[in-house]
Structure 1
Amino acid sequence: MQIIRFADLKPQPWRNGGGVTRELASHSGGTSADTTSADDGAFDWRVSLADVTSAGDYSPFPGMERVLTVVEGELLLLAVDGTEHPLEKYRPFRFPGGAASSSALPTGDVRNLNVIAREGAFKAYTSIIELSKKRAHPVFEGQLGVLLQGQATVSPGNAGPDAGSGAGPDSAPVPLGRYDAVVGSDSQTPEILGRGFLAVVSIDPVTG
């Protein structure tokens, strides 16, 4: 079971100085690079958290598709190719990565969950799930579960040795902090219990 701790992520400043980004996971060169940072555009997909502290333009990602979700703050005004879209908290929005895009902050700073995937190779989805203390939410292979709010623990879904971060063979529940991410697996599917909200990012290979 692999847990990516938000506190361990190094913030990278935007080129335009309008905020910072912390990369949760990425994939490039046909191999998984879950904890390796990728340069702009040098990846097939990337999941990151961005702190937006001033209005301004977004970096273009031609050939990519983006899914942006406000996870902290009230409102982001996103302009895509001249059309303005008001983005409220926990409402994912999909748009072309190569489009001319910029944002304004009418209610103050925001934090965004950004998912970028290469068109024709991967399709990305973001779902916001309300957690339960009685029914665990599984995180499968190709998914990343990010705790957005509340208190939660994660356990391997199957008994047996566990080679991840912070969990041992006894499969004791591991507490999650805000914005910690759980990497999904089908062989020992992590299960998350608690109260609050979880973002489930799914990255599906495009076939055919």
Structure 2
Amino acid sequence: MDLLAELSTRRALCIIRAPAIPDPVGLARTLVEAGIPIVEFALTTPDAPRLMEQAARVDGLILGAGTVMSAQDARDCVNAGATFMLTPGIRPDVAEEAVRQRVPLILGAMTPTEVATAVDLGATAVKVFPAARLGPAYFADLHGPYPDTPLVATGGLNAENAAAFLAGGAIAVTAGSGVVGPKLAAESRFDEISQRAKEFLAALA
């Protein structure tokens, strides 16, 4: 799986973070069918590795693990079927494990120094957070010193503002609670999630 190619083509990935996910297979299938097959299960969700194991059965799903904080987290996620990982910040131990396992990694960063550190640690792409607070122009600014670094915008994005971050230079944007709200996921309200996902994608066109 070429993560950069998928991000460039899809331009969106979805973050799932909820107090409970009773039907991870149904949720993952809903997102794939709605057009957002790149999906991150955050480890802040209870029992996330088990949920990933179940979701991994869904055809067409590009399964990622988010909020990966340690090398053990990384191993658990890969064993659960994750094909890429994301961190909220610079995590050298996770980066080392990702390189060892040959799994694409998106390291979190905010400052130019952190972006450089992420690149040095072998990040496939850099997740810039909190994007909505920093603004789309910040991505254009980062591409001044780092013109070839793939940047993913995350934090506070929605159908109203996400396209501006792509225009600013992000390779992809994240759909979070605006698409998969914690309550919607916990209650398996897949029709609403599907509609929100389609609206998010339509706004990027």
Same fold (TM over 0.5): no
Q: Name the structure where strand makes up a greater proportion of residues.
A: 1
